[in-house]
Amino acid sequence: MTDTISPFVGGIVGTPRLRKEDPALLTGESRFIDDLQLPGALWIALVRSPYAHARIGAIDASAALAVDGVVAVYTGADLEGDWAGPLPCAWPVTDDMKNPAHLPLAVGKANFAGDGVAVVVATSRYAAADGVEGVVVDYEPLEAVVDVRDAASDRLVIHEDCGTNVAYDWELTPDPDGVAAAFENAVHHVTETYVHQRLIPAPMETRGVAVVPAPHNGDMTLYSSTQIPHVLKVMAALTLGVPEQKLRVVAPSVGGGFGCKLNVYAEELVCMTLANRHGVPVRWTETRTEAATATIQGRAQRQTIELAADADGKLTGVRATLLADMGAYLQLVAPGVPLLGAFLYHGLYDVPVYSFTCRSVFTNLTPTDAYRGAGRPEATYAIERAMDALAVAVGVGQDEIRSRNFIPTEKFPYDSPAGLIFDSGNYQPTLDRAKELMDWDGRRAEQAERRAAGSTMHLGLGISSYVEMCGLAPSRTLAALNYGAGGWESATVRILPTCKVQVVTGATPHGQGHETSWSMIVADQLGVDPDDVEVLHSDTAISPLGMDTYGSRSLSVGGTALWMATEKVIHKARAIAAHMLEANADDLDFAGGTFTVKGSPDKEVPLAAVAFGAFTAHDLPDGMEPNLEAQVTWDPGNFVFPFGTHIAVVEVDEETGAVELIDYAAVDDCGNQINPMIVEGQLHGGIVQGVAQALWEEAIYDADGQLRSANLADYLVPSAAECIDMKLDHTVTPSPTNPMGVKGVGEAGTIASTPAVMNAVVDALRPMGITDVRMPASPMTVRRAIEAAGGSS
């Protein structure tokens, strides 16, 4: 494969452009679920288990039913017959994976604090909330399993019918003998254990659902604040047994997801079944507390990584083992999250042999699932932290250890030891440029000066070089991983009679700016103004085919489908233009929205005339269908592999333990860029989200499985005040996987930044003998580490 250079010549792609989505968002014109006006709608509120683990005894709803406005109360047992199946898990990673029945409302036993046990239906949101207070549930509290190692011991089995807390074991060791030999012969053998705390995704808009039934013809519209209206339609049809052709799913404006809205949730199905039962619209808006307890959480892994290396620090083998916390049940793609990292624990380093094993267990905590990066941040964290440990063992700098191990550029496409083919890469320039942006040597000198002067304000420098696999995904690869769906994406391009353009995409945006980027792609190809391109999405009645947005897939998969559909339309327009110009189609040039005959520049016809001609159909070539429209479904041949290097500088206050991020440089390569402004925006947000894992965010549970950080005063999502200016730059190594040469960038920042910051924290403290700090590096945690190491009082 050779590098693809950019196919874009229209001058629009590659230039920063303000997002066309923003005026409506900034003025409040955009309509989110809670803004929908649905006269006569009933509201629901869920009665949720306050216990992490409890048998559900008698449920007395009489006081609730006496509340003014309460219409009905249903228990899990009342609705059990409404489900054709349990909530879906679409990724049974092994054939013998344990998947306990997960009903929208629990029956018999509640398995995490927040598990729904009953639902109150009322005429207003307030009455429904009052009703919840009136439902008396007779719980028999049981001991809760909150720790993954405790869970793995099966001391206490949560789902009796599974007989174990282990959901599955999964291994990827292509060459076991080679791995054993590598570690036997290793000069340096580094073993590190890291813990990824649970994270709460916390999008600005919590979830919400509204279901509008048409009781007489059987139609049903499900409005949901979801990333996946298309997937949801299929899953909801299966789970409720409703005819799919009668179902329409709409995601209105969606205020962020970060993976937590890539799911099928109890409330969606409960609203649907109650809309059926009551024959009127039924709706629900999630509270922030529910968003913390009843929406999936992320990360929650314990990892051990071992590196084998020769005397020069050149890696000879990597072995990773994982203990992953699935929470109380298996959500939609949860079992596959560790697998999305499984191939990347050797990072962007050239390693001959590789081994990965994962055990995933149930606990009595909120279910986990995909959260920005899903598996790749965890993998990157492990290898990047361990590379620093190796650098120390070998006695070389953190930059040098990486340079010695980067996959050489000439090895691309690279056959990875885990069995992937890395499409393209050129890693060293990102490290060089990041060091330059950061003034690496200057910072190191400053660090040394402070140390020499006995300062208690320590500087720490941390590098994180990363590669990730995104653009989910080749359908056949997903099949090999036992995933229950494909990874294609669909797009339609339609040139209207007035030469305005409609684009229909199956990639469902929820903040990424698809409307802007998609318009730019099509406008560049067609030679029209991006403002003349309208992008339609997120409604299965308008966009019936789609696999939605997650895994940094929209551009490299959905965008490619769009690019191809536009090429198809141009192909047809060219034939019509040739007919109009009485020329051969092959003899036409198309640029700036005009077809010209090669060699006779005065013979030309604008696209507008072709579009109108295609509409009137008065004079089309024989046998040609009227109108200019094309649909393409594209199934990628490979993942795409963006990469880069980030460098963080922190200042650690030895006396208080406070860590402050004071400088940040990032050099990323996502191939060709469509809108550099959106790329920067994704990086800014992504980096902050990863820094948040390092420094602030943690779902804190006590020994009883109670969440102690269930609101935004206790769960520390950073605000703009915590953000610093970042020094961003990029290199461009086009992907040969798709014709636009693009790679995803939605998760890259999050993947790279967490280990950069933690490496910096440890770098600051290493002279004290500290080699690891648990995340998040809160002041008390850091101070405790300093005290344990005998630091100042």
CB of 203 to another protein, least distance (A): 18
Q: Least Å distance between CB 661 and another protein?
A: 12
Binding-site string for another protein from residue 461 to residue 490, where x marks contact by CB under 8 A and - marks none: ------------------------------
Peptide bond into 473 cis (omega under 30): yes
Measure the CA–CA gap between 348 and 644, rounded to whole angstroms: 10
In the list 121, 206, 783, 785, the residue contacting another protein (rule: CB under 8 A) is: 783
Q: Please select the residue that binds another protein; options are 357, 428, 709, 771, rule is CB under 8 A.
A: 709
| Distance separating alpha carbons of residues 641 and 738, to the nearest angstrom | 12
Assigned token pair, 338: 């560790």
Binding of residue 66 to another protein (CB under 8 A): no
CB 693 within 8 A of CB 775: yes
Helices (H) and strands (E) in the chain, counts: 21, 28
Looking at beta carbons only, is 100 or 718 nearer to another protein? 718
As given in the structure block, the two tokens for residue 784 are 């405790």
What's the closest the beta carbon of residue 126 comes to another protein, in angstroms? 6
Buried b (16+ CB within 10 A) or exposed e, 531-546: ebbbbebbbbeebebb
Query: Which of 78, 154, 589, 722 contacts another protein by CB under 8 A?
Result: 722
Among 95, 410, 719, 725, binds another protein (CB under 8 A): 719
Rule CB under 8 A: say whether 779 interacts with another protein: yes
What would you measure as the largest C-alpha separation in the chain, in angstroms?
Answer: 89
Q: What is the DSSP letter of 290?
A: H
Q: Does 289 bind another protein (CB under 8 A)?
A: yes
Measured over the CA atoms of residue 180, residue 182, residue 184 and residue 186, the dihedral's sign is negative
CB of 1 to another protein, least distance (A): 47
Contact of 564 with 570, CB cutoff 8 Å: no
Residue ranges in 173-202 that form contacts with another protein under rule CB under 8 A: none
Contact between residue 98 and residue 168 where contact means Cβ atoms under 8 Å apart: yes
Contacts of residue 149, Cβ cutoff 8 Å, sequence gap at least 6? 302, 323
Within 10 angstroms of residue 616's Cβ, the number of other Cβ atoms is: 10
Query: Least distance from C-beta 659 to another protein, angstroms?
Result: 9
Contact residue for another protein among 633, 718, 766, 768 (CB under 8 A): 718
Q: What is the DSSP letter of 520?
A: H
CB of 483 to another protein, least distance (A): 37
Options 186-194, 295-303, 470-478, 776-784: segment touching another protein (CB under 8 A):
776-784
Q: Using CB under 8 A, which of the segments 6-14, 126-134, 174-182, 724-732 binds another protein?
A: 126-134
Which helix or strand (DSSP H or E) is residue 212 part of? strand 208-214
- In the complex with another protein, the residue whose CB is nearer, 473 or 658, is 658
Q: Which of 218, 708, 788, 789 binds another protein (CB under 8 A)?
A: 708
Euclidean distance between CA atoms 601 and 590, whole angstroms: 11
Least gap, CB of 139 to another protein (angstroms): 20
The rounded distance, in Å, linking the Cα atoms of 551 and 778 is: 29
Question: What residues numbered 668-707 form the site for another protein, per CB under 8 A?
Answer: 695-696, 700
- 780 is an interface residue for another protein by CB under 8 A: yes
The distance of closest approach from Cβ of residue 278 to another protein in the complex, given in angstroms and rounded to an integer, is: 21
- How far apart are the C-alpha atoms of 487 and 475, rounded to whole Å? 5
Number of CB atoms found within 10 A of residue 336's CB: 26
Least Å distance, CB 573 to another protein, is 52
From the list 301-309, 435-443, 498-506, 780-788, the region that binds another protein by CB under 8 A is 780-788
Whole-angstrom Cα distance, residue 570 to residue 558? 18
For another protein, which residue of 13, 209, 535, 658 counts as binding (CB under 8 A)? 658
In the beta sheet, which residues pair with residue 534? 502
> Closest CB to another protein among 568 and 784?
784
Contact 86, 239 (CB under 8 A): yes
User: With respect to another protein, which residue has the nearer C-beta, 428 or 709?
Assistant: 709
Chain residues 36-55 in contact with another protein, contact rule CB under 8 A: 45
Q: Is 713 in the site for another protein (CB under 8 A)?
A: yes
Angle between helix 514-526 and helix 560-581 axes, rounded to 10 deg? 30
69-72 LR contacts (CB < 8 Å, sep 24+) = 69/122, 69/123, 69/124, 69/126, 69/127, 69/128, 69/130, 69/131, 70/120, 70/121, 70/122, 70/127, 70/128, 70/130, 70/131, 70/134, 71/42, 71/121, 71/122, 71/123, 71/278, 72/120, 72/121, 72/278
Do residues 673 and 750 lie in contact, with contact meaning Cβ atoms separated by under 8 Å? no
CB of 711 to another protein, least distance (A): 8
Tell me whether residue 616 or residue 656 sits nearer to another protein (CB atom).
656
784 binds another protein (CB under 8 A): yes
126 binds another protein (CB under 8 A): yes
Query: In sequence order, which residues have a C-beta less than 8 Å from that of residue 498 and are 6 or more positions away?
Result: 608, 611, 612
Per DSSP bridges, beta strands 594-597 and 600-606 are antiparallel
The residue from 276, 287, 304, 594 that contacts another protein (CB under 8 A) is 287
CB of 783 to another protein, least distance (A): 6
Q: Which is nearer to another protein, 50 or 497 (CB)?
A: 50
Q: How far is the CB of 713 from another protein (least distance, A)?
A: 7
d(Cα 564, Cα 128) in Å, to the nearest integer? 49
Region 598-657 residues binding another protein, contact defined as CB under 8 A: 655-656
Tell whether residue 714 is a contact of another protein (CB under 8 A).
Answer: yes
In whole angstroms, how close is the CB of 162 to another protein at the nearest point?
Answer: 33
Kindly indicate which of the ranges 431-439, 565-573, 719-727, 753-761 contains the residues binding another protein, using the contact rule CB under 8 A. 719-727
Q: How far is Cα 540 from Cα 252, in angstroms, rounded to an integer?
A: 11
Q: Does 778 bind another protein (CB under 8 A)?
A: yes
Min CB(181)–another protein separation in Å: 47
Q: Of 73-81, 115-123, 287-295, 383-391, which part binds another protein (CB under 8 A)?
A: 287-295
Cβ closest to another protein, residue 333 vs residue 691: 691
Q: How far is the CB of 293 from another protein (least distance, A)?
A: 12
Is there binding between residue 130 and another protein (CB under 8 A)?
yes
- Measured CA to CA in angstroms, residue 85 lies from 98, 110, 119 at distances of 16, 18, 19
721 near another protein (CB under 8 A): yes
Q: Residue 18's closest CA among 559, 678, 501?
A: 678
* 34 contacts another protein (rule: CB under 8 A): no
- Closest distance to another protein from the beta carbon of 679 (Å): 27
Q: How many residues bind another protein (CB under 8 A)?
A: 31
Q: Binding residues for another protein, per CB under 8 A?
A: 45, 125-126, 129-130, 133, 287-289, 655-656, 658, 695-696, 700, 708-709, 711, 713-714, 716, 718-719, 721-722, 778-780, 783-784, 793
